[in-house]
Amino acid sequence: MTAESFPATVMPDPDWWQALWPQPGQVLAGLGIAPGTGMAVDLCCGDGLFTAPLARLARHIVAIDNDPRMLALAREKVAAVSDAGACDFVEGDAYDIARLVRRPADLVLIANTFHGVPDKARLARGIAAVLKPGGWFIVVNWHRRPREETTVLGQWRGPRTEMRMTPEEVAAAVAPAGFRPARVVELPPYHYGAIFEKPTA
């Protein structure tokens, strides 16, 4: 592990995670990520749940995680997608995104991780630095519902209730880095996607 992991961001067990996210490609479509996307970053990619469908939509992607075992799993998932675009797998700290990503990005996705980032403004600044003007920053987060209400396969799941954020709280956290809220997409049963734009001027 090259960096300290953010709290409460361990990759969930695949059994209930796959039950919760049976169609990750449809999630990306719902977020408005379309075929022909240029350069995309899957930040804190985990085992590649969203990396593989993203690789089918984007011409080039960079998948970042601080856990090499996760990157190996993500690499396998992407390799199984025959029409995947070019993909770089980078071990490193999400805070260092501006150093890890060498070309301007059209899109940065962070799924199921932002709630645990201790210095959200710092991370947002790094993301803003790699995005092109007009580029999208997408945060997929658990809704701010009590943990005992977010059951999957018969058990309470997800981060502690007090760590969960509303879309408005995410917007407030990333605003100092210059991000403008574009829209919020419902991702049933328990998530939302908050989409931000880096202003063009």
Ligand X SMILES: C[S@@+](CC[C@H](N)C(=O)[O-])C[C@H]1O[C@@H](n2cnc3c(N)ncnc32)[C@H](O)[C@@H]1O
| Rounded distance between C-alpha atoms, residue 12 and residue 158, angstroms | 9
Quote the least distance from Cβ 3 to ligand X, whole Å.
Answer: 5
Examine residue 67 and tell whether it contacts ligand X (CB under 6 A). Answer: yes
| Rounded distance between C-alpha atoms, residue 108 and residue 164, angstroms | 21
Return the closest-CA partner of residue 89 out of 136, 49, 124, 42: 42
Total chain residues near ligand X (CB under 6 A): 20
Only one of the segments 55-63, 107-115, 129-137, 191-199 lies at the binding site for ligand X (rule: CB under 6 A); that segment is 107-115
Exposed, middle or buried, 102 (CB in 10 Å: 0-12/13-18/19+)?
exposed
Residue in the shown chain whose Cβ atom is closest to ligand X? 46
Examine residue 151 and tell whether it contacts ligand X (CB under 6 A). Answer: no
Only one of the segments 25-33, 105-113, 162-170, 183-191 lies at the binding site for ligand X (rule: CB under 6 A); that segment is 105-113
Examine residue 6 and tell whether it contacts ligand X (CB under 6 A). Answer: yes
Give, in degrees to the nearest 5, the angle at Cα 123 between 134 and 171.
60
| Rounded distance between C-alpha atoms, residue 192 and residue 70, angstroms | 24
Q: In the complex with ligand X, which residue's Cβ is closer, 7 or 176?
A: 7
Give, in degrees to the nearest 5, the angle at Cα 127 between 121 and 131.
140
Nearby residues of 93 by Cβ (< 8 Å), 6 or more positions away: 2, 3, 4, 66
Quote the least distance from Cβ 29 to ligand X, whole Å.
Answer: 16
Interaction with ligand X in 162-191: which residues (CB under 6 A)?
A: none
Examine residue 78 and tell whether it contacts ligand X (CB under 6 A). Answer: no
Examine residue 106 and tell whether it contacts ligand X (CB under 6 A). Answer: no
Q: Which residues bind ligand X (CB under 6 A)?
A: 3, 5-6, 9, 11, 44-46, 49-50, 64-67, 70, 93-94, 111-113
